C-alpha cells in the first residue's frame, strides 16, 4: 500500500508571510547577535518556517529550539505555536505518535481563552487573534495526521473546524483548508466536490498573491481530470503546478508535480517523457526522505520497463524493494508508537474520570455538614464537572477511533509484507514460461526463414512436403507459445489476486492447487533471499478432495504465512524437510503443514496466536501473521491446531468445513 502523502498546510498563520526570508544564513547570523529570549524564539520560528517543504529535520530542529525558549519563559501561546510547527513536520515524516503529543498539547492551550494572557505577540496581532489562528492551524495539522492514518471522517471534521475558527479572524486564511479538502474529496472519489474546493483555493491564492503552496492545489485539480482520463486538461494543470513550484522554490509540490507528470506520460505510453520526469522525482532535494525515495525508485523501474531496458528496470526494482522494506519497518514503529500513545491517553482519561467520581463523592459527603451556601457551591461544581466529562468523553471517542484506524493500518501492512514474501517466488515461476515463449518464437522465426527460402525457388525445385512439415512445426510451436503465455498470465493474475484487498466474495476453490502454488512460491522466495538454502519438499494431496467456497486470497495468505514460518524454522537444520498434505475428514477438509525444525516450547504455545507476539528479532516481524490467520480461519467456522515437541518439529493443521 502506498503511503498517502499529506498535502502540506498552507500555514494559515499567514502573518509569517511578512517575514518570508530567502536566505537562512542572515537569520542564523541574527540569531547569534540577539540577546532576548523573545527575539531568539521568533528567529527560530522563522527558520523552522523557511525549511518547510525543504528539510523536515531542520523544521523540527528549529521548532524545538523555539519551543524550549517558550517553555523556559512559560509563554503558553508560543509553546502552542512551536508545538504545532513541530507536529506538522513530524506528521509528514510519519512520526505520528510524537506529532499527536504536540498537537494535543497545542489544542489544550489554544482552546483555553486564558492562554491569551501568556505569550509574546508577534506580527502586530492582538492576543485573541493570535490564539484563534493557532487553534485553527492546530486543527489543520490534526486533520493531516488523521488523513495519514486513514481516518477520513476525523480528517474532514478537523478541516471544517479549522475553517469555522479561521473565519472568526480572517476568511482569507482558509485557503489551505480548502486546498486539502479538495484533495480529501478526490481520494474519496467525489470529483465535483474536489474541483469545487480546489478552484476556491486557487481563486483565493491568486487574489492574495500567496502562491507558495498553489502547486499542490493545481496537482489536486489535475488528478481529478487524470482519473477522468481527460489527459489534456490534467497535463495543463500538472505543468502549471510544475512551473509554479519551481518558481516559488517549493520542493514538496515540485516533487509531486514531477511525479504526476511521470504517471500521465506513462499512461500515454510516452517512454522518453516518462523517464525524464521519473528522474526528476529521484533527483529532487526532498527525495532523501525514505517514502519519497521509494516512490522515485518505483517510477524509474516503470519508466525503464516502458523503455524496454530490463537491466535498468531490474536495478531500480531492487532498490525500490530495499527502501520499501526500510519504509515499512519505519511505518510499523511509528504506528506502534502512535498506538501506544493513544492507549496511554485512554488510560489517563479513565484515571481522570475515576478521580472526578471520587472527588464528587467527597464533596457530597462534606455538603451534608454545610448549609445552604455549600449546596450552591456543589451545584456549580457539578455543572463544571459535567462539562469536563463531556469534553473527556469526546476526546476518548476520538482516541478509540484513532486506535481502530491504526489497527487497520497494521493489518494492511501485514498483508503487504506477505506480498513481498511472494515476489521472488513469482519472478522465478514466471521466468520459465517466458523462456519457453522466447525459445519457440526464435524457432518459428528460423522455420519461417526456411519456408521463405523454399518459396524463392522455381516451381519445379520447391519441396512441397518440406514446406508442409515446416508449417505444421510453426503451428505446433504457436500452440506451445500460447500455452506458456497462458501460464504466465495465470501467475500474474494469482499475484494480483493475492495483493488486492479482499472483496469478500467467495468462489469454489481447489485447495490442492492453492497449497501447491504457495509452497513453490514460498520456496523460491526463500531461496531468493538465501541462495544456499535447500529443503526437501513433500506433498501428499487427496485427489478426491472437494472444492470449498472461500475467498481464495484470504486462505492463500494463511497458507503462505504458515509455510514461510516453517521454512524459517528449518533454516539451520542439516536436512530440512517441509511437508504439505490434504485430506477429507467427514464434513471437514484438513491442510497439514509440517517441518522438522526445533519445535515450539510449551511455554509459548498458548501465545503464538496473540497479536504482536513474535520470537523474531526486532524489526523482522510484526507478530500479526498468525493472529490474522487464526481470525480468518475462525471466520469460516474452522480452526488451526498446533502440534509441536522440542527437537521433533511442528505440525500446523488447518481444518475447514466443506459446507460453509
Region 272-293: mean pLDDT is: 80
- Please list, residue by residue across 315-334, b when 16 or more beta carbons sit within 10 angstroms of its beta carbon and e when fewer do: ebbebbbebbeebbbbbbeb
Residue-wise pLDDT for 46-76, tens only, equals: 888 888 766 778 888 888 888 898 899 998 9
Would you say residue 319 has pLDDT above 50? yes
As a whole number of angstroms, the distance between CA 177 and CA 201 comes to 8
Q: How far apart are the first and last CA of the chain?
A: 31
As a whole number of angstroms, the distance between CA 215 and CA 213 comes to 5
Please tell me which residue, 275 or 616, carries the higher pLDDT value.
Answer: 275
For residue 410, what pLDDT is reported?
59
Least confident residue range of 36-45, 325-334, 451-460 = 325-334
Would you say residue 189 has pLDDT above 70? yes
Region 480-484: mean pLDDT is: 82
For residue 623, what pLDDT is reported?
63
Least confident residue range of 270-279, 311-320, 426-435, 633-642 = 426-435
Secondary structure element (H or E) that encloses residue 579, with its range? strand 577-585
Least confident residue range of 16-25, 86-95, 151-160, 550-559 = 16-25
- Region of 265 (left: φ > 0; alpha: ψ -120 to 50; beta: rest) is alpha
Whether the CB-CB separation of 216 and 238 falls below 8 Å is answered with no
Least confident residue range of 66-75, 116-125, 293-302, 573-582 = 116-125
Whether the CB-CB separation of 499 and 556 falls below 8 Å is answered with no
- Confidence band (pLDDT; 50, 70, 90) for 3? very low
Would you say residue 334 has pLDDT above 70? no
Question: In DSSP terms, which residues pair with 656 in a beta bridge?
Answer: 589
Whether the CB-CB separation of 80 and 110 falls below 8 Å is answered with yes
For residue 451, what pLDDT is reported?
82
C-alpha angle 409-413-417 in degrees, rounded to nearest 5: 175
As a whole number of angstroms, the distance between CA 509 and CA 542 comes to 14
Least confident residue range of 362-371, 491-500, 503-512, 539-548 = 491-500
- All three cell numbers of 376: 450552591
As a whole number of angstroms, the distance between CA 658 and CA 546 comes to 8
For residue 43, what pLDDT is reported?
86
Helix (H, G, I), strand (E, B) or coil at 95: coil
CA distances from 293 to 320, 335, 395, 423, 450 (A): 8, 20, 36, 20, 51
Of the candidates 88, 108, 7, the one whose C-alpha atom is nearest the C-alpha of residue 391 is: 108
What sign has the CA pseudo-torsion 57, 60, 62, 65? negative
Helix (H, G, I), strand (E, B) or coil at 326: helix
- How many helices and strands, by DSSP H and E, does the chain display? 21, 7
Would you say residue 120 has pLDDT above 60? yes
Secondary structure element (H or E) that encloses residue 625, with its range? helix 625-635
As a whole number of angstroms, the distance between CA 348 and CA 345 comes to 5
As a whole number of angstroms, the distance between CA 93 and CA 330 comes to 10
- Confidence band (pLDDT; 50, 70, 90) for 258? very high
Q: What is the mean pLDDT of the chain?
A: 79
Would you say residue 182 has pLDDT above 50? yes
Please tell me which residue, 385 or 309, carries the higher pLDDT value.
Answer: 309
Residue-wise pLDDT for 371-395, tens only, equals: 667 767 887 778 877 787 777 777 7
- Region of 508 (left: φ > 0; alpha: ψ -120 to 50; beta: rest) is beta
For residue 229, what pLDDT is reported?
92
Would you say residue 253 has pLDDT above 60? yes
Percent of the chain with pLDDT over 70: 79
As a whole number of angstroms, the distance between CA 561 and CA 147 comes to 30
Please tell me which residue, 73 or 148, carries the higher pLDDT value.
Answer: 73
Please tell me which residue, 642 or 426, carries the higher pLDDT value.
Answer: 642
As a whole number of angstroms, the distance between CA 571 and CA 598 comes to 10
For residue 586, what pLDDT is reported?
83
Q: Which are the contacts of 229, defined by CB distance < 8 A and separation ≥ 6?
A: none
- All three cell numbers of 105: 498539547
Residue 228 burial class via C-beta count within 10 angstroms: exposed 0-12, middle 13-18, buried 19 and up: exposed
Question: In DSSP terms, which residues pair with 585 in a beta bridge?
Answer: 588
As a whole number of angstroms, the distance between CA 432 and CA 415 comes to 27
As a whole number of angstroms, the distance between CA 249 and CA 247 comes to 6
For residue 1, what pLDDT is reported?
31
Region 266-280: mean pLDDT is: 92
As a whole number of angstroms, the distance between CA 382 and CA 375 comes to 11
Q: Which are the contacts of 191, defined by CB distance < 8 A and separation ≥ 6?
A: 185, 224, 227, 228
Residue-wise pLDDT for 158-177, tens only, equals: 988 988 998 888 766 788 88
Residue-wise pLDDT for 436-450, tens only, equals: 788 878 888 888 888
Of the candidates 230, 253, 231, 252, the one whose C-alpha atom is nearest the C-alpha of residue 241 is: 253
Residue-wise pLDDT for 564-620, tens only, equals: 888 888 888 888 999 999 998 888 999 999 999 888 888 887 778 777 667 666 555
Whether the CB-CB separation of 654 and 590 falls below 8 Å is answered with yes
The CA R_g of the chain, rounded to the nearest whole Å, is 31
- All three cell numbers of 466: 518440406
The long-range contacts involving 161-168, CB below 8 angstroms and separated by at least 24 positions, are: 161/136, 162/12, 162/136, 162/137, 163/136, 165/132, 165/135, 165/136, 165/139, 166/12, 166/132, 166/133, 166/136, 168/132
Amino acid at each position: 500500500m502506498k503511503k498517502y502523502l499529506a498535502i502540506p498546510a498552507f500555514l494559515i498563520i499567514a502573518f509569517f508571510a511578512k517575514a518570508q526570508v530567502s536566505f537562512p544564513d542572515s537569520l542564523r547570523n541574527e540569531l547569534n547577535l540577539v540577546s532576548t529570549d523573545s527575539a531568539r524564539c521568533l528567529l527560530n520560528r522563522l527558520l523552522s518556517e523557511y525549511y518547510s517543504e525543504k528539510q523536515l529535520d531542520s523544521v523540527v530542529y528549529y521548532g524545538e529550539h523555539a519551543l524550549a525558549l517558550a517553555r523556559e519563559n512559560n509563554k503558553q501561546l508560543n509553546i502552542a505555536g512551536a508545538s504545532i510547527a513541530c507536529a506538522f513536520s513530524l506528521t509528514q515524516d510519519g512520526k505520528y505518535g510524537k506529532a499527536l503529543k504536540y498537537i494535543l498539547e497545542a489544542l489544550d492551550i489554544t482552546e483555553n481563552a486564558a492562554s491569551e494572557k501568556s505569550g509574546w505577540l508577534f506580527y502586530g496581532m492582538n492576543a485573541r487573534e493570535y490564539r484563534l489562528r493557532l487553534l485553527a492551524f492546530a486543527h489543520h495539522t490534526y486533520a493531516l495526521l488523521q488523513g495519514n492514518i486513514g481516518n477520513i471522517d476525523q480528517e474532514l471534521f478537523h478541516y471544517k473546524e479549522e475553517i469555522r475558527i479561521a473565519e472568526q479572524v480572517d476568511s482569507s486564511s482558509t485557503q489551505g483548508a480548502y486546498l486539502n479538502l479538495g484533495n480529501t474529496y478526490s481520494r474519496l472519489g467525489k470529483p465535483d466536490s474536489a474541483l469545487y474546493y480546489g478552484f476556491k483555493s486557487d481563486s483565493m491564492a491568486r487574489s492574495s498573491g500567496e502562491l507558495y503552496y498553489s502547486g499542490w492545489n493545481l496537482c489536486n485539480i489535475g488528478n481529478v481530470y487524470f482519473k477522468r482520463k481527460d489527459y489534456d486538461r490534467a497535463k495543463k494543470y500538472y505543468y502549471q503546478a510544475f512551473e509554479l513550484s519551481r518558481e516559488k522554490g517549493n520542493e514538496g509540490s515540485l516533487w509531486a508535480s514531477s511525479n504526476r507528470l511521470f504517471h500521465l506520460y506513462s499512461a500515454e505510453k510516452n517512454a522518453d517523457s516518462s523517464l525524464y520526469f521519473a528522474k526528476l522525482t529521484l533527483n529532487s532535494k526532498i527525495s532523501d526522505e525514505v517514502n519519497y525515495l521509494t516512490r522515485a525508485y518505483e517510477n524509474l523501474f516503470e519508466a525503464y520497463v516502458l523503455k524496454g531496458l530490463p537491466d535498468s528496470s531490474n536495478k531500480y526494482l531492487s532498490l525500490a524493494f530495499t527502501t520499501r522494506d526500510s519504509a515499512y519497518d519505519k511505518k510499523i514503529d511509528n504506528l506502534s508508537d502512535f498506538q501506544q500513545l493513544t492507549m496511554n491517553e485512554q488510560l489517563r482519561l479513565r484515571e481522570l474520570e475515576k478521580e472526578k467520581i471520587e472527588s464528587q463523592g467527597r464533596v457530597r459527603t462534606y455538603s451534608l455538614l454545610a448549609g445552604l451556601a455549600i449546596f450552591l457551591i456543589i451545584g456549580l461544581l457539578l455543572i463544571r464537572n459535567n462539562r469536563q466529562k463531556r469534553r473527556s468523553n469526546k476526546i476518548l471517542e476520538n482516541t478509540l477511533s484513532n486506535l481502530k484506524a491504526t489497527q487497520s493500518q497494521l493489518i494492511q501492512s501485514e498483508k503487504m509484507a506477505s506480498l513481498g514474501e511472494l515476489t521472488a517466488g513469482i519472478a522465478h515461476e514466471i521466468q520459465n514460461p517466458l523462456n519457453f515463449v522466447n525459445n519457440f518464437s526464435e524457432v518459428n522465426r528460423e522455420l519461417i526463414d526456411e519456408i521463405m527460402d523454399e518459396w524463392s525457388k522455381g516451381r519445379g525445385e520447391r519441396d512441397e512436403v518440406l514446406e508442409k512439415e515446416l508449417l505444421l512445426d510453426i503451428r505446433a510451436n504457436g500452440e506451445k507459445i500460447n500455452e506458456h503465455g497462458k501460464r504466465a498470465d495465470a501467475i500474474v493474475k494469482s499475484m494480483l489476486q493475492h495483493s488486492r484487498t479482499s472483496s469478500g466474495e467467495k468462489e469454489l476453490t481447489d485447495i490442492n492447487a492453492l497449497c501447491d502454488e504457495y509452497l513453490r512460491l514460498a520456496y523460491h522466495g526463500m531461496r531468493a533471499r538465501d541462495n544456499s538454502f535447500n529443503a526437501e519438499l513433500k506433498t501428499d494431496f487427496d485427489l478426491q478432495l472437494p472444492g470449498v467456497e472461500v475467498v481464495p486470497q484470504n486462505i492463500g495468505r494463511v497458507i503462505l504465512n504458515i509455510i514461510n514460518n516453517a521454512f524459517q524454522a528449518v533454516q539451520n537444520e542439516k536436512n530440512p524437510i517441509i511437508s504439505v498434505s490434504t485430506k477429507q475428514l467427514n464434513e471437514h477438509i484438513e491442510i497439514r503443514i509440517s517441518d522438522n525444525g526445533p519445535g515450539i516450547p510449551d511455554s509459548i504455545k498458548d501465545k503464538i496466536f496473540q497479536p504482536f507476539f513474535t520470537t523474531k528479532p526486532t524489526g523482522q516481524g510484526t507478530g500479526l501473521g498468525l493472529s490474522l490467520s487464526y481470525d480468518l480461519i475462525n471466520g469460516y467456522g474452522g480452526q488451526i491446531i498446533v502440534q509441536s515437541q522440542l527437537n521433533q518439529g511442528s505440525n500446523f493443521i488447518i481444518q475447514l468445513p466443506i459446507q460453509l
